[in-house]
Amino acid sequence: MSRTPYPHPIVAREGWPYIALAVAVAAGVTAVGGWWSVPFWLIALFVLQFFRDPPRDAPAGERLVLAPADGRVISIETLRDPYAGGRESLRVSVFMNVFNVHSNRAPVDGRIERIDYFPGSFVNADLDKASEHNERNALLIRADDGSLVTCVQVAGLVARRILCYVKPGDMLHRGQRFGFIRFGSRVDVYLPPRSRLFVGPGEKVHATASLLAELPKAGDA
């Protein structure tokens, strides 16, 4: 059984001004230049596809961790979570290129305990150092089973703004849209070290629809 916990806009509202501008420019060039407007319409189509936000059904099942973003798994590492007191964690990093959906969605059901924003640089989000040096926004989530899961929005080389629409104390449902990052970025998910992984480096995932992992049973974390 699956569920879609909230309505999706199909085209992300963050993109409406950009789409309107691109279409207006393309239409204006069409009016004066005819076929010379083709590249501008292609740009408008690119902007439209970048801001698409399709509905996704969240798989049902206890302790499941869903992909928070579309993209490619670029690394899986065991390290200490700097946002949760340095506890040992399993970090799964998903890189989004400019052709992926950039809507960010909750990986687990739970309550947000803390949100920490860090200004930083804008190196290529495909690099490991991006997790430590780039602009980022970290959500510390207490999952329904008591596990701590950290979900970090990381800006990339082109991305210049991280958007987050939730606050500490809010309840999240798996697959719920909580933010957006413009034009290429990554999302890091820190899990309890004994979590069971369903993905490996290099695999493509889709926000909400793809399973990243299963949280350990109580007492096994």
Residues marked as catalytic: 185
Q: Do 58 and 210 meet the contact criterion of CB atoms below 8 Å apart?
A: no
Alpha carbon of residue 103 to chain centroid: 6
Q: Rounded CA gap, 167 and 7, in Å? A: 20
Q: Rounded CA gap, 194 and 106, in Å? A: 20
For residue 140, give Cα distances in angstroms to 12, 28, 96, 190. 25, 47, 21, 9
Q: Rounded CA gap, 42 and 35, in Å? A: 12
